[in-house]
Structure 1
Amino acid sequence: MNANSINIVKRGFLLGLMVLFFSSAFGQTMPIAKLDNETSRKGEIVWIDLITNDARASKKFFSNLLGWSFKNHEAYDVALSGTKPVSGIIEDQELLKGSKTSYWVVSASVKDAVATAKKIKSKGGKVLSEPMEISGRGTVALVEDPQGAFFSVLENSSGDPKASAPRNGEWMWAELWTSDPKAAVSFYADVLSITAKPLGNDGGGEYFILKGDTYEFGGITKIPVKDEAPIWIPVLRVEDAAGIADKAVKLGGSILIGPASVAGNKVALITTPSGAPFLVQEWDL
């Protein structure tokens, strides 16, 4: 995936995602987890959606790769790892018509989506879709940071999914690949009121860890791939990164980076058959 393909995604994204996800046309709620109205993880990434032009193929891929199962809510599928909801899958057949590219969207929990959207604008970001109420989900806005990475902010109507240590086959966190990590840290710390710390003791600012109340939930780093545009990449915990990467290829995906050893843990950047990139990483918690 290169910068041009991501720009194409953005154009298709606003065409398709606005019609499907950010509308009330479903007539169905779209639960993201078992919610308790008491859990609050404001500022943290609490959900990840896959926007694809072939939901059936995406479900088959993840079912065979990870054993995920799915619950359908009209045009929206919720992926389950065991009994735990882990992702949503949204299909738009007009999205990137003729192109094999899909995209992930990470959602950050906020107390007030309207106020957060205004703050994002004031700090140099963009609001791609104004905050909208979605039955069963809450108030959602699609936004973009000053470097061009887009994500959504979610004012969840029923509380946030509880934080838990990720098991194999579940998302560990998400990484922001950006052109200016320090500027990105300042932006996200400001608009989401989160804490970031440099990895290691050198203070070089090459990699920052995003800390939640209970667990670390994300990272920010310099874009490691040539010609890539700023992007949020979800990271999946697996027992055998090399084995999962090889299996992904056999199922129609591809390997973009690795498998390689990072801080003593093997990691690989792979894609779904429709081109959505994600990291798989071994992790000894």
Structure 2
Amino acid sequence: MSDDHGRFIWYELLTTDPKAAQAFYGDVVGWTFQDMPGDGFTYTVANADGNGVGGLMLIPPEAKAMGVPPNWSGYVDVDDCDAAADKINSLGGSVIRPPADIPGIGRFAVVADPHGAVFEIMKPAPMETGRPRAPQGTQGHTSWHELYAGELETAFAFYAALFGWKKDEAMDMGPMGTYQLFSNQDGQIGGMMKKPDQIPRPAWLYYFQVGDIDAAVERVTRGGGQVVNGPMEVPGGDWIIQGVDPQRAMFALVGRRG
């Protein structure tokens, strides 16, 4: 297993209005954007401090036909995309889009855990220089990864077997159950919990780092988004919000107050 296996390396927004999404996230998170024309479509890279952190595109026709709504998803580095896809099947997950090559970028697949939470796996193409990794808490980057699981213990076992993630602290949330933090080679990177009843299906949620959380909330509402939870203080002194963008894709922010 390589040192990169199990690291989140990219985040992707499928949306019904890419230009509106650029305006919203550019204002809220501070990203700049660069269009990368493809074969019949445009893929737009989101940059923070000149480094690509994610991308966005119009929901593809085949996904739209399946009823896929606007959403964010995350890519996790794997040593071998095809072997990882096979392992996902053997662990009770599913492969939604079989492994395929993106020339010059890598080999990827769209997959889901045993309860249906969707994510991507990718074996990146070799790079002349190492892939830059910003320290956790760097503005404009993703600082936290949260799984609303169908069932906590079996979900964690799936990701541990697939990526080698480790259990970290567990927080008792009373009637909401346990919030299980998890770590990879970089330390704590996220948490998992059984999904609340108001969340319709198991899903991943990604937290983008901003500066002042209250100023970010103002930008969210000014841009036509909606804050559905927060601001709420979390251990360590950070504050978080969860929201939906104007096209109804769910996202989250983490920052400070004052």
* Structure-1-length-normalised TM-score: 0.78
Question: Shift of the alpha carbon at 1:215?
Answer: 3.6
The separation in 2 between residues aligned to 1:105 and 1:247, in whole angstroms, is 23
Whether 1:273 aligns to 2:246 is yes
More deviation, 161-170/130-139: 161-170
The separation in 2 between residues aligned to 1:224 and 1:237, in whole angstroms, is 24
Percent of matched pairs sharing the same residue: 26
Counterpart of 1:137?
105
**Matched residue of 1:239: which SS?**
strand
Question: Shift of the alpha carbon at 1:151?
Answer: 0.5
Instruction: Indicate which of 150, 162, 165 corresponds to 2:132.
Output: 162
Whether 1:231 aligns to 2:198 is no
**Matched residue of 2:211: which SS?**
coil
* Structure-2-length-normalised TM-score: 0.85
Matched pairs, number = 244
CA deviation vs aligned residue, 1:194-231 (integer Å, no higher than 9, x gap): 222233599x9712223222343232122246143111
Counterpart of 1:20?
none
More deviation, 45-54/151-160: 151-160
The separation in 2 between residues aligned to 1:110 and 1:227, in whole angstroms, is 29
Which structure dedicates a bigger proportion of its chain to strand?
A: 2
The separation in 2 between residues aligned to 1:227 and 1:177, in whole angstroms, is 8
Counterpart of 2:223?
251
CA deviation vs aligned residue, 1:144-183 (integer Å, no higher than 9, x gap): 1001101011011125733321312221131111121211
Counterpart of 1:70?
33
- Structure 1 236/224 Cα, relative in aligned 2: closer, same or farther at 3 Å? farther
Whether 1:83 aligns to 2:17 is no
The separation in 1 between residues aligned to 2:111 and 2:69, in whole angstroms, is 20
Matches of residues 193-204 of structure 1 in structure 2 within 5 Å? 193-199=164-170
Whichever residue aligns with residue 148 of structure 1, its letter is: G
Work out whether residues 177 and 230 of structure 1, in 8 Å CA contact, stay in contact via their aligned partners in 2. Answer: yes
Gaps of 5+ in 2: none
Gaps of 5+ in 1: 1-38
Deviating beyond 4 angstroms after TM superposition, the runs of 4 or more aligned structure 1 residues are: 93-97
Counterpart of 2:163?
192
CA deviation vs aligned residue, 1:223-282 (integer Å, no higher than 9, x gap): 246143111101112222232122111101111111122224321101211111111112
Counterpart of 1:17?
none
Whether 1:41 aligns to 2:4 is yes
The separation in 1 between residues aligned to 2:44 and 2:14, in whole angstroms, is 11
**Matched residue of 1:189: which SS?**
helix
Counterpart of 1:105?
73
